[in-house]
Amino acid sequence: MKTVLVIGGGVTGLKASSELAEMGYNVTLVEKEDYLGGQVAKHKYYKLAPDLRLAGEVIDPVIKAVENNSNIKVYKHSHVAAVSGNAPEFKAKIKNSKGESEENFGAIVVATGFEHFDPTVKQEYGYGRFKDVVTNAEVEEMLNPGGPTNGELKRPSDGETPKKIAIFQCVGSRDRQVGNPYCCRVGCVVSTKQAIEIKEKYPDSEVYVYYMDMRMFGRGWEELYGKAMEEYEIIFTRGRGAEVTLKNQQLSLRAEETIMDRPIQHSVDMIILAAGMAAGEGTIEAANVLGIKQNDYGFLEPKDDFVSPNESSKPGIFIAGADKGPMDIENCIVEGAAVAAKVASSLKN
């Protein structure tokens, strides 16, 4: 029985590993961080849209399915430094603080995920310059009772609870200037979810969402959007965030209302940026080590987008999840199972 190398211990890689192990394959899972769970764990995601159920209810069983399966060997804080050979006889060098080992594999799954777009690139939004301009991911950590503010939304500048909060959608998404014309897929729903969480916890707060299009396309997302407007009185305004300034210690935003080309000026206490998804370092590293194709944005390119969505440009090397482009957690879990099927059939033939 051949062993499968899975690179990346986020949701997709975890699911791929446990599915393969359940089908009887041996798996070696290599994760660069010293924890499993990818971005969900990194940013202490608290609740998930659209049901506002605890992220732990989803990620914990996915992690446990890996940890409790004796067919899976997990290397944390490790890298795949080099790969040689061809399908189905690969040799990979795995490096970590304890040293270097070389192992043989029948197939390789790349599930290196994404990284959040770095909003300092959009200088006009003031992230990094103004303390109270934060990201969705940072709010996620704040809202988590196990996070740095014990579950409270606090202004980083003075520790106060903000009263007027604006959310800017599409930060580093749908933006040709920064080279990311694509949609991040999850910004609209995550922002809507956070707006609801904020209004639930702080009913006196005012939450304003500035958006280009509300892309509430997923299961239950549209219903969540309706609830946000009707039950929580969150104000959605169509307009792209243009600039953030600080006037007499007060954050002020300018947005471009896109229908009438009317500028909007708005003073608020906190601005949350819905930072998009970008190809992560781990993905770029894996593409280089393995010699597989990337698209214009650095994401991994399937052999055929429709017919072979989980095969890379090289036989025996498979790809899945958000290293192929923006993807939500539900889809990543499906991709993890799908790539396991492809690996299984390739090793059978």
Binding part of the chain for its own copies, among 31-39, 135-143, 267-275, 305-313 by CB under 8 A, reads: 305-313
DSSP-assigned letters across all residues of 288-319: HHHT--B-TTS-B--SBTTTBTTB-SSTTEEE
At residue 154's C-alpha, the angle toward residues 152 and 156, to 5°, is 140
As a whole number of Å, the end-to-end CA separation of the chain is 13
Q: Does 61 bind its own copies (CB under 8 A)?
A: yes
Residue from 39, 59, 28 nearest 282 by CA: 39
Binding mask 21-40 for its own copies (x = CB under 8 A): -xxx----------------
Q: 12 exposed, middle or buried (CB, 10 Å; 0-12, 13-18, 19+)? A: buried
Check binding of 333 to its own copies (CB under 8 A): yes
Which residue spans within the chain are E strands per DSSP? 3-7, 26-30, 47-48, 53-54, 72-75, 79-86, 89-96, 99-105, 107-110, 114-116, 133-135, 164-171, 206-211, 235-238, 240-247, 250-257, 262-268, 270-275, 277-279, 317-319
- With binding defined as CB under 8 A, does residue 205 bind its own copies? no
Stretch that binds its own copies, among 71-79, 107-115, 161-169, 222-230 (CB under 8 A): 222-230
Q: Which residues from 106-125 bind its own copies, rule CB under 8 A?
A: none
- Residue 226 C-beta: closest distance to its own copies, Å: 7
**How far is Cα 143 from Cα 103, in angstroms, rounded to an integer?**
42
Asked whether position 305 contacts its own copies by CB under 8 A, the answer is yes
Nearer CB in complex with its own copies: 180/194: 180
Give whichever of 160 and 213 is closer to its own copies, judged by the CB atom: 213
259 binds its own copies (CB under 8 A): yes
Provide the mask over 141-160, with x wherever binding to its own copies is found by CB under 8 A and - wherever it is not.
Answer: --------------------
Omega before 50 within 30 of 0, i.e. cis = yes
334 binds its own copies (CB under 8 A): yes
Which residue's CB is nearer to its own copies, number 8 or number 326? 326
CB of 32 to its own copies, least distance (A): 24
Q: Given the complex with its own copies, which of 32 and 342 has the nearer CB atom?
A: 342
Mark the segment that binds its own copies (CB under 8 A) among 115-123, 130-138, 143-151, 333-341.
333-341
- What is the β-pairing status of strands 114-116 and 277-279? antiparallel
- Cα separation, 158 vs 252, whole angstroms: 17
Q: Which is nearer to its own copies, 199 or 342 (CB)?
A: 342
CB 216 within 8 A of CB 191: no
Quick one: which segment of 95-103, 121-129, 218-226, 283-291 binds its own copies (CB under 8 A)?
218-226
Site for its own copies, residues 165 to 184, rule: CB under 8 A: 174, 176, 181-183
- Binding footprint of its own copies, residue count (CB under 8 A): 53
List CB contacts of 264: < 8 A, sequence separation 6 or more.
210, 237, 239, 253, 254, 255, 256, 257
Of the candidate spans 26-34, 190-198, 246-254, 339-347, the one that interacts with its own copies by CB under 8 A turns out to be 339-347
CA distance 334 to 6: 16
Nearest approach in angstroms of CB 313 to its own copies is 16
The SS3 call for residue 114 is strand
Q: Which stretch binds its own copies (CB under 8 A): 18-26, 125-133, 146-154, 264-272?
A: 18-26
Interacting residue with its own copies among 153, 207, 209, 338 (CB under 8 A): 338
List contacts with its own copies (CB under 8 A).
Answer: 19, 22-24, 48, 51, 57-58, 61-62, 174, 176, 181-183, 185, 213-217, 219-223, 226, 238, 259-260, 305-307, 309-310, 325, 329-331, 333-342, 344-345, 348-349
